Amino acid sequence: MKDNMIDVLQTYSEAAYLLSLLANLAISVLGVVPSAFLTAANLAVFGFWPGFWISFAGEALGAVVSFILYRKGFRRLRETTWLSHPNVKPLLHASGKEAFWLVFSLRLLPLMPSGVVTFVAAIGRTSLPVFAAASSLGKLPALWMEAYAVHQLLRATWQGKLILAALSAAIFLFVWRKIRRNKAE
């Protein structure tokens, strides 16, 4: 997917920034597609800092557009059963400073699905300005970590990538066995 995006951005170089922003908007609105491939493409095409900033602008704009669309389309879902889960309620009912710090903190977590945070904040009490500020500020360090990791991976030799793949597989197997063992007990 990254290579296809690189091809598109290079083929339409005059509109590459706009295409990247539009791709980020689509990813944000869908809410379930990871954006790491687009960050990798932006870094490969534009370089580290320009690629980082275009990724940041796209993700920040995408989060705001998604928030507005989710708020208009899904606000009535606030009372559904799955939103009464204890882990969801704080963000759903937060407003003002509390909402700011919750959204900001959740954006700092690299494995927290961005779409879920946006969706719950949008159907909850969080205002658009609070969400936009908290989301954007929280995305800065998280996206920098993602961009740095992707940049280093793009620069790695095939041996480094092989070692990383082996370590990732070993960690996955360890966690998977641990989960299976806990379920069996």
pLDDT tens for 3-33 read: 888 888 988 989 999 999 999 999 988 888 8
Q: Distance between CA 74 and CA 52 in Å, rounded? A: 31
Classify residue 124 by its DSSP letter: T
CA max distance for the chain? 59
Domain count, the chain: 1
Residue 167 belongs to domain spanning? 2-184
Residues 6+ apart with CB under 8 A from 43: 51, 52, 55, 147, 150, 151, 154
Q: Distance between CA 109 and CA 159 in Å, rounded? A: 29
Q: Look at the pTM and tell me if it is higher than 0.85.
A: no
pLDDT tens for 68-92 read: 998 888 766 655 655 666 666 777 7
